Amino acid sequence: MEYVVYQKIGKVAHLSLNNPAARNALLAELREELLKTLEEAEADPDVKVLLLTGQGDHFSAGGDVKAMGERTVIQSLDSVQLYNRIVTKMTAMNKPIIAAVHGYVVGAGCSLVLSSDIVLAAKGTKFSLSFLKIGLMPDAGATYHLPRLVGLLRAKELIFGGRFFDEAEARQMGIVSGIYEKEQLLDSALEYAHTLAEGPSLAIGLVKKALHHSLQNDLPGVLEFERMGQSVLQQSKDHREGVKAFKEKRKPNFAGE
């Protein structure tokens, strides 16, 4: 079975979780395929943007609970390490990742969404960090990303209670960037992705890296990162094209160089 459907649409790599009969539960096999397709998209110079979705009625109901409860410590360490590799890849990748979600976005499925760069949601989407309901703590980067998005106190409230919250509340908290009718979600997300893919991909990659870098550093460190990054970008073909297009009053044609 193909657990992650991978499709290139122009400069966009569309990765879709494909375990709909189990609400896209994140089986080990699915996670292995997801990591592989992330690596493939990252290595492809023609891919500028990634779009992450889920097949069927839900984005993902989270981890495979049926496989839990009988793991040894070593098996648990290996299972979580696979999540860690996925989240590290998503966060460190220079290419932006758009998550377009619908239905249930629960547990580790929600963690994956928090690791994305832009989140678009269909009306009726239900989010939950429900780990405590089965005696576990959040993983797959949720304890890193959530408090940085919503604040420490709100993160504790969402995790301790494990309650569901909808796309409107998610947007109010800063998790979701845009809300669409369910039948319009994929087309709207692809349109957004294609627009982003036509941008200056070298600069976009450095912006993503700079923003993550800023969470770990003080102002002098951030300013130095900006100084170095900007100096590199000012030598790029995209910068020269952007300036030329500005002077000629036309849309720039960026090449990602």
Domains along the chain? 4-197 (3.90.226.10), 201-248 (1.10.12.10)
- For the residues 80-100, what does the mean pLDDT come to? 94
Of all residues in the chain, what percent carry a pLDDT higher than 70?
A: 98
Q: Are 19 and 73 in contact (CB under 8 A)?
A: no
Q: Is the pLDDT of residue 64 over 90?
A: no
- What pLDDT was estimated at residue 72? 73
Q: Is the pLDDT of residue 120 over 70?
A: yes
Q: Is the pLDDT of residue 42 over 80?
A: yes
Task: Please state which of the ranges 87-96, 171-180, 197-206, 241-250 shows the lowest mean pLDDT.
Answer: 241-250
Q: Is the pLDDT of residue 69 over 70?
A: no
Interval 127-150: pLDDT, tens: 999 989 888 889 999 999 999 999
Q: In what order do the strands lie in the sheet with 104-106?
A: 104-106, 126-128, 165-166
Interval 149-197: pLDDT, tens: 999 999 999 999 999 999 999 999 999 999 999 999 999 999 999 999 9
Q: How far apart are CA 27 and CA 62, in angstroms?
A: 9
Q: Which two tokens stand for residue 59?
A: 């984005």
Q: Is the pLDDT of residue 257 over 90?
A: no
Give the strand pairing for 12-17 and 4-9: antiparallel
Q: Helices 219-233 & 201-214, crossing angle to 10 degrees?
A: 170
Q: How far apart are CA 239 and CA 223, in angstroms?
A: 20
- What pLDDT was estimated at residue 67? 65
Q: How far apart are CA 21 and CA 54, in angstroms?
A: 12
Map the chain to HEC letters.
CCCEEEEEECCEEEEEECCHHHCCCECHHHHHHHHHHHHHHHHCCCCCEEEEEECCCCCECCECHHHCCCCCHHHHHHHHHHHHHHHHHHHHCCCCEEEEECCEEECHHHHHHHCCCEEEEECCCEEECCHHHHCCCCCCCHHHHHHHHHCHHHHHHHHHHCCCEEHHHHHHHCCCCEEECHHHHHHHHHHHHHHHHCCCHHHHHHHHHHHHHHCCCCHHHHHHHHHHHHHHHCCCHHHHHHHHHHHHCCCCCCCCC
Question: How many C-beta neighbours within 10 Å does residue 132 have?
Answer: 13
Q: Are 146 and 110 in contact (CB under 8 A)?
A: no
